[in-house]
């Protein structure tokens, strides 16, 4: 039997390429450029599967034009906001993602941003690196203590739950908002708020872990930011779409927020240029899951999903 043809849109770890080459007929993108719409559609010709990253946008019109041969989009990502799931389902294209395997790595970045924003790490690093560190005083670079504070988690899914455990390592009180209450085992003593607005009043730190959906787009707006305690710190490792940038920037400028730590942005790559002008932000370029271990695990998870699909079993991580 001939092996299924697979388009792999971005360069993945060698171990993942090797496994793909063994069991599939892959087309790799070895120079790792981002396909535009036309190239994506052209390269998809004759493929049974596509393994994309969040950098490839499968809008309804792209999905409508995908060749008949494409039967599965096996994402190399947990987030699937780059894929119009309804359009895929309508065309009978199966869509999968890679949950679980990136939760630890992403939670690490949530903690890094929390600590970095609170303790002014990138500001301090810029100062030392620029040669501008000329003095020291007890009032110098004073930040916000993390230990013992209250963190509000928006989205108590897999990443949110791991982040909650890590926050607890700093003796933090964990509160969370989620569409529904999670099990006691997943909750581990965290306090559930059915009402997000209610939770915000307690959240000295706020960490975003919800997927980008029409319901969560712009969730952190001016009104919600105003509900946070003065001097709060916001961290986002989920998606830029959750944040109203005008409102967040205004809150950072006014001092309503002490700081923010952002790994994801509206308008990636690059993000809103106004963030670059602010001292009190700790900015990373969407590297939540960027560890050697996690990249390999994500690739294997995407292949597991394809294996199950082509073997006629339902892929475990089917989202459409
Ligand atoms: C990935 C992510 O690096 O998986 C996700 O949803 O946001 C990132 O951690 C990226 O999406 C890979 O496509």
Tens-place pLDDT, residues 39-93 = 999 999 999 999 999 999 999 999 999 999 999 999 999 999 999 999 999 999 9
How many angstroms separate the alpha carbon of residue 287 from the centre of ligand 1? 8
The single residue of 19, 224, 239, 295 carrying the catalytic annotation is 239
Among protein residues, the one whose CA lies closest to atom 3 of ligand 1: 289
Q: Which atom belonging to ligand 1 lies closest to the Cα atom of 75?
A: 13
Atom 1 of ligand 1 has which residue's CA nearest to it?
Answer: 77
Topology classification of domain 5-101+292-310 = Rossmann fold (3.40.50)
45 flagged as catalytic: no
| Rounded distance from Cα 187 to ligand 1 centre (Å) | 25
Which of 57, 102, 290, when mutated, tests ligand 1's pocket best, judged by the most ligand atoms within 8 Å of its CB? 102
To the query of whether residue 268 is one of the catalytic residues in this protein, the response is yes
pTM metric for this prediction: 0.97
Res. 294: pLDDT tops 80: yes
pLDDT tens string 163-205 = 999 999 999 999 999 999 999 999 999 999 999 999 999 999 9
Mean pLDDT of the 121-127 span: 97
CB atoms within 10 A of CB 10: 17
* Confidence bin at 1 (pLDDT 50/70/90): confident
Q: Which of 83, 9, 19 is nearest to 49 (CA)?
A: 9
3-state secondary structure of 243: strand
Mean pLDDT along residues 88-102: 98
Mean pLDDT of 137-162: 98
Instruction: Cite the residue boundaries of each domain of the chain with CATH code 3.40.50.720.
Output: 5-101+292-310, 103-283
Alpha carbon distance, N-terminus to C-terminus of the chain: 27
Helical H runs in 53-134? 60-65, 85-90, 103-118, 121-130
How many angstroms does the Cα of residue 80 sit away from the middle of ligand 1? 9
**Ligand 1 atom closest to 79 (CA):** 6
Q: What is the DSSP letter of 253?
A: H
Task: Please state the CATH superfamily assignment of the domain spanning residues 103-283 in this structure.
Answer: NAD(P)-binding Rossmann-like Domain (3.40.50.720)
ipTM confidence score: 0.97
Ligand 1 binding pocket, CB closer than 6 Å: 53-54, 76-79, 102, 288-289
User: What would the two tokens of residue 240 be?
Assistant: 């830029």
Relative to the CA of 264, which ligand 1 atom is closest? 7
Q: Which is catalytic among the residues 166, 286, 295, 301?
A: 286
Mean confidence (pLDDT) of the chain: 98
How far does residue 79's CA lie from ligand 1's centre (Å)? 6
Q: Which of 65, 125, 268, 293 is catalytic?
A: 268
The reply to whether 18 belongs to the active site is: no
Burial of 300 (0-12, 13-18, 19+ CB in 10 A): middle
């Amino acid at each position: 039997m001939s092996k299924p043809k697979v388009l792999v849109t971005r360069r993945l770890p060698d171990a993942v390429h090797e496994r793909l080459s063994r069991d599939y007929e892959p087309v790799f993108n070895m120079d790792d450029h981002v396909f535009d719409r036309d190239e994506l559609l052209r390269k998809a010709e004759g493929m049974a599967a596509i393994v994309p990253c969040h950098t490839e946008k499968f809008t309804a019109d792209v999905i409508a034009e995908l060749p008949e041969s494409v039967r599965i989009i096996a994402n190399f990502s947990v987030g699937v906001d780059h894929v119009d799931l309804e359009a895929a389902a309508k065309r009978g294209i199966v869509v999968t993602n890679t949950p679980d395997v990136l939760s630890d790595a992403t939670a690490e970045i949530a903690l890094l941003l929390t600590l970095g924003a609170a303790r002014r790490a990138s500001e301090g690093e810029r100062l030392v690196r620029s040669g501008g560190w000329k003095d020291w005083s007890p009032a110098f670079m004073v930040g916000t203590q993390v230990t013992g504070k209250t963190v509000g988690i928006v989205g108590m899914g897999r990443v949110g739950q791991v982040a909650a455990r890590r926050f607890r390592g700093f003796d933090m009180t964990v509160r969370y908002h989620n569409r529904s209450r999670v099990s006691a085992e997943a909750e581990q003593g965290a306090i559930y708020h059915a009402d997000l607005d209610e939770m915000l009043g307690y959240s000295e730190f706020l960490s975003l872990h919800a997927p980008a959906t029409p319901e969560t787009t712009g969730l952190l707006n001016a009104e919600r930011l105003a509900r946070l305690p003065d001097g709060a710190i916001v961290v986002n490792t989920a998606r830029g779409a959750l944040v109203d940038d005008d409102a967040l920037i205004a809150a950072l400028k006014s001092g309503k927020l002490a700081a923010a730590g952002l790994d994801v942005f509206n308008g990636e790559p690059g993000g809103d240029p106004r963030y670059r002008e602010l001292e009190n932000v700790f900015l990373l370029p969407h590297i939540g899951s960027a560890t050697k271990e996690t990249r390999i695990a994500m690739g294997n998870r995407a292949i597991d999903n394809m294996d199950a699909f082509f073997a006629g079993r339902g892929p475990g991580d089917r989202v459409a």
